Amino acid sequence: MALLQISEPGQSTPPHEHKLAAGIDLGTTNSLVATVRSGVADTLADENGEHILPSVVHFADKDEILVGTPALSHATTDPLNTIASVKRIMGRSVKDLATLEGYLPYKFIDNESHVPRIDTAAGAITSVEVSSEILKSLRERAEASLGGELIGVVITVPAYFDDAQRQATKDAATLAGLNVFRLLNEPTAAAVAYGLDQQAEGITAIYDLGGGTFDISILKLTKGVFEVLSTGGDTALGGDDFDREIASWILNQAKLKATNDHQMMRRIMKEARRAKEALTAAEAVDINVVLNGDRHFESTLSRHQFEQLIETHINKTIVWCRKTIRDAGVEVREVQNIVMVGGSTRTPYVREKVADFFGKQPLTNIDPDKVVAIGAAQQANKLAGNNPEEDMLLLDVLPLSLGIETMGELVEKIVDRNTVIPVTRAQKFTTFKDGQTAMRIHVLQGEREKVADCRSLATFDLTGIPAMVAGAAHILVTFQVDADGLLSVSAEEQNSGVRASVEVKPSYGLSDSEIETMLKASFQHAEEDVHTRALIEQQVEADRVLEALRSALAKDGSLITKEEFAKIEQAKSILLSARQGNDGEKIKQAIKSLENESEAFIARRMNRSVQQVMKGHKVEEFE
C-alpha cells in the first residue's frame, strides 16, 4: 500500500512538475546512484535490493557485457576480460601505465594514440568505455526506480582529478546517455550530505579514503556557502592498497612471489579484501585461499598485524592532512568537524589515526559508502530546479596553478592554486621584438617557476599581430575554468582585435604520484626557485635592453658621437659579461649603467621623432 505525502499548501512541488535528477558516485571499487524523493535523499537499489554496484565490467564479446556483481563473479575465472578499478586509468596516457601496470592484470594494446586500450574479447576497450557501461547501468537503475528519464545528473570526482580525468568522466557520461549538470568534488558532496550547510559557519575537514583514491579538503562554511579553502590528496592511494598489503603478506607467508598467474592473484586479492572487511569488527580472521594446483594456504591474520601492514599508507594520508591544513591557513584546533567518507574509513585504525591527528572524534554516523552519492543527489535536485527556495552554493577550487610560458622559459601564473572555481582571470602581455607578428601561447600547470618543472597542457599561436615596436602590442590572455574544472584559454591583441583560443581537453592525465611530486618539489625548491626566477628575469631584461639598443643604433646611429659610442660599447660589453653569470644584482647594475650611458642618445632620438611628427603642423594642433 502506497503512502501519501502530506505537506503544507504551496510547500510541495506538484508531481507533474517534479524533474527527475540523480547524483552518481562513480567510485573506484563501488558506484552508487541516489535521488531525492519526498524531500529525502537516498541511494537507489537494483532489482535484488542491492544499493552498491561493484565498479566492474566483464566483456565476453560485443553483445554480452556484464556490469556489477555478475561481472565480479568472472574476476577470478576470466581476469583479462573483467575490468575493475578502471577509475585508476581514467584520463591517463599510455606512458603513465608504467606506474600502474603491476596492479592491473590486463593486456594493453600498442597503439599510436595517447589513450590506453585494453585488449578484451569484445575488442580494444578504453577506460572511458568501461566507465560508460557502469554509468549506463546506474542510469537504467534510476530510470526504472523513478519511472521516467533523468533530465540530468551530478557526478562526483576526487577533488584532485585533473583536467584530463574530469573530461574523461564527462565523456563517459555522454557515452552513457547522461546529461551532466556538473561534476562535483567528492568531499564537497559529503559536506552537503551531512547537512553542514545548515550551520552558520565553521571549518570542516573532509577525509575521503576510497578504494583507489584519497582526498582531504578543508572547507569553510559561512551562512550556507561552501568554500573549499584547500585540497590535497593522492589519486593512487586507497583501500586497494590495503588489499595488496594483505595479498603480499599471504605470498610471503606462502613463500611465493607475485606471478603472471592472474587467476591465482585474483583469488588472493579476493581473500585479502574479505579479510580486510572482516577485521573491521573482528580481532583476527582466518585466511584460506587456493594458490596453484591443489595447494592451499591457511593462516590467521590479526588486526594488529593488519595495522602494521597498512600503517605507511595511513601515515601518508596524515601527511596530506597536515599539508592541506597549512595551505588553508588555519590551525588544526580550528577544525570543528571531521567527516569520514569512503568505505576504507570503516577501518578502525584509520579512524583512530585521524582522531589522534585532529584531537577529536570524526563524524561517522552516515554510511561512508553512501554519503557522497547522497550529497550529489541533493545538489542534482537543486540544479534540476526542484528546490528553488534553497540557497546552497558550492565553491570548489583548482588543485594546481595555471599559467603561461614567458621569456626565459619562466612560468607566469595567471590562476593560482586553490582559487575558487568557476573563475575567469586575465593578464596583459606584450611583444619582445620589433615587428613581431605572432606569439606562441604555452599553457602550463604547476607550482614551480620554470617551464621544465611544470606540466604542459596546451600550445596555440596568436597570429596576425600588427607589426609594431617591441612593447607596443597589448595582448590579453584570458583563462576560464568552469564549474567542472575544465579550462579554456584565449589570447587577443587589443589594438587589432586578432584572437585565438584553445580548450584544454587532453587525452591523458597526470601519473599516480605526479601531483604529489609537483607539490613537494614546489615546497622543497621554493627559495631556489625565487632566486632562479629573479636571475632569469634580469637576464631577459638584459636581452630586451640589448635588442632595443641594437635596433636604435641600426636606425639612428648617425645621432651618436664617437665618444658616446665608445662609452656605450664599453657598458654594453660589461652587460654582456654579467649576462653570462649568475648574479642578478650585477646584471641589474650593468643594465642601469648602459641606460645611463645611452641617455643622451635616446633623448636625441626622441627629439627627432617629435620633430618628424610635428613637421607641417602647428603646436596648437596637438593641444
Catalytic center residues = 25, 87, 186, 208
For residue 129, the one-letter residue type is: E
Alpha-helical segments (H) within 20-126: 69-72
Residues contacting 529, CB < 8 A, separation 6+: 448, 449, 450, 522
As a three-state string, the secondary structure of 383-441 is HCCCCCCCCCEEEEECCCCEEEEECCCEEEEEECCCCEECEEEEEEECCCCCCCCEEEE
Which of 468, 51, 72, 612 is CA-nearest to residue 43?
Answer: 51
Max Cα-Cα span within the chain: 107
| CA gap 103, 88 in Å, rounded | 10
| CA gap 430, 428 in Å, rounded | 7
Which of 302, 309, 268, 273 is CA-nearest to residue 288?
Answer: 268
Distance of CA 97 to the CA centre of its chain: 18
| CA gap 516, 525 in Å, rounded | 14
CA 48-49-53 angle, 5° bins: 85
Q: Is residue 239 exposed (0-12), middle (13-18) or buried (19+ Cβ within 10 Å)?
A: buried
Question: Pairing state of beta strands 487-493 and 499-504?
Answer: antiparallel
Whose grid coordinates read 568505455? 129
C-alpha torsion angle, residues 429, 433, 435, 439 (rounded to 10): -50
| CA gap 340, 353 in Å, rounded | 12
Which of 573, 613, 572, 614 is CA-nearest to residue 595?
Answer: 572
Contact call for residues 288 and 298 (beta carbons, < 8 A): yes
For residue 382, CA distances in Å to 154, 194, 199, 374, 391 come to 10, 16, 19, 13, 9
- Which element (helix H / strand E) includes 492? strand 487-493
C-alpha grid cell for residue 20? 527527475
Contact call for residues 136 and 173 (beta carbons, < 8 A): no
Interhelix angle for 186-193 vs 371-383, to 10°?
A: 90
